[in-house]
Amino acid sequence: MLPGSIQISGETLSGAEIRDICESLRENSVRLLSLRGCQLSERDFGHVCRAAAESRSLAQLNLNLGIVSNINRVKQLAEALKTNRSVQSLFLHGSPLTDAGLALLNPALSIHPSLVALDLGDCMLGDEGINLICGLLPPDGAKSGLKELTLSANPGVTSKGWGRLAIAVAHSSQLRVLNLDYNPLGDQVAGMLAVAVASSRTLEVLDLEGTGLTNQSAQTLLDMVENYPTALRTLILAENNISPELQQQISDLLSEGEEEEETEAREVTAREKNPWICQNNSSSQMVLMTSGLGDSLLAETEM
């Protein structure tokens, strides 16, 4: 039987329910475990962590909205992740980690062999926490690292911390999605991020909703999109002091780039799948006639 999912939201979990969850984890019958906003005792949280450590099927673990509520729980989660080898996505949005908690969790995150998506939004992080996160974005040619990172609503991070993150993003060969919405970034940080996007070969989605940007930022981002080849496909600028005209110009340019890339990808795939080559006897030139469609890959994660 294929692994399924357990998704519970905002409930107070009984000991019996925790036992059922733990049994399913140990039987490798759970691929997604979501307990967002649930209430469970310290003892039961420990049981879940130990069962998650043993699971070989668990790919997505959602503990959003305050589940990891104290340092003791951070330590138990860290121990679980040191043993677990299957978790690909970890969601801790709304957990009061602080930099101290992330420092305890970071060693397990940095050595985990499968982790590619991490949500640390609204986790009360500061510059030291950002420094640790930069270590999860290894430079080009180094070990594997995160492909999706969410750092929404961490107002304690200063421009210095965001600057360090921008440098890490510029040199990361793997990060595809970066969510920084609802942080007080301002135009200065947006300028640093524009440079990072222009340097990155992989970043496809950047969320800057509600980050205190103005038309100055938008013009910088527009110039970047217009003049530099990037992998960027989605740039979210809602709830900023940016004119609709500038937002539309940026959106149009990104759409044009995506359409051109899709056309090129289809042509390349067609040549690989079904080439018909006709050579003119009087010339060394060849005419290549092709047909076919490219494939696309969609990845979904639960918030």
Number of structural domains (the chain) is 2
**129 and 108 in one domain?**
no
Q: Is residue 271 part of a domain?
A: no
Q: How far is the CA of 204 from the CAs of 166, 175, 234, 254, 290, in angstroms?
A: 15, 8, 6, 10, 29
**162 and 84 in one domain?**
no
**12 and 92 in one domain?**
yes
Q: What is the pLDDT of residue 98?
A: 97
Q: Is residue 155 part of a domain?
A: yes
Tokens encoding 71: 């340092």
Q: What is the pLDDT of residue 256?
A: 84
What's the rounded Cα separation, in Å, for the pair 75 and 175?
27
Instruction: Identify whether the C-beta of residue 103 lies closer than 8 Å to the C-beta of residue 97.
Output: no
Q: Is residue 268 part of a domain?
A: no
Mean pLDDT for back-to-back runs of 10 residues, the chain (303 residues): 86 96 97 97 98 98 97 98 97 97 97 97 98 92 86 98 97 95 97 95 96 97 93 96 95 77 49 43 32 32 43
Instruction: Identify whether the C-beta of residue 184 lies closer than 8 Å to the C-beta of residue 162.
Output: no
What's the rounded Cα separation, in Å, for the pair 40 and 15?
9
Q: Is residue 105 part of a domain?
A: yes
Whole domain around residue 231: which residue ranges?
A: 125-260
What's the rounded Cα separation, in Å, for the pair 65 and 122?
9
Q: What is the pLDDT of residue 260?
A: 53
> Which helix (H) or strand (E) element contains residue 98?
helix 98-111
**137 and 224 in one domain?**
yes
Residue ending a domain, among 113, 135, 155, is 113
Residue ending a domain, among 80, 113, 146, is 113
Q: What is the pLDDT of residue 143?
A: 73
Residue ending a domain, among 88, 113, 138, is 113
Longest pairwise C-alpha distance within the chain? 83
Q: Is residue 204 part of a domain?
A: yes
CA 206 to chain centre: 10
**193 and 136 in one domain?**
yes
Q: Is residue 131 part of a domain?
A: yes
Q: Is residue 267 part of a domain?
A: no
Q: What is the pLDDT of residue 3?
A: 76
pTM listed for this prediction: 0.84
Q: Residue 25 sits in a domain of what CATH number?
A: 3.80.10.10
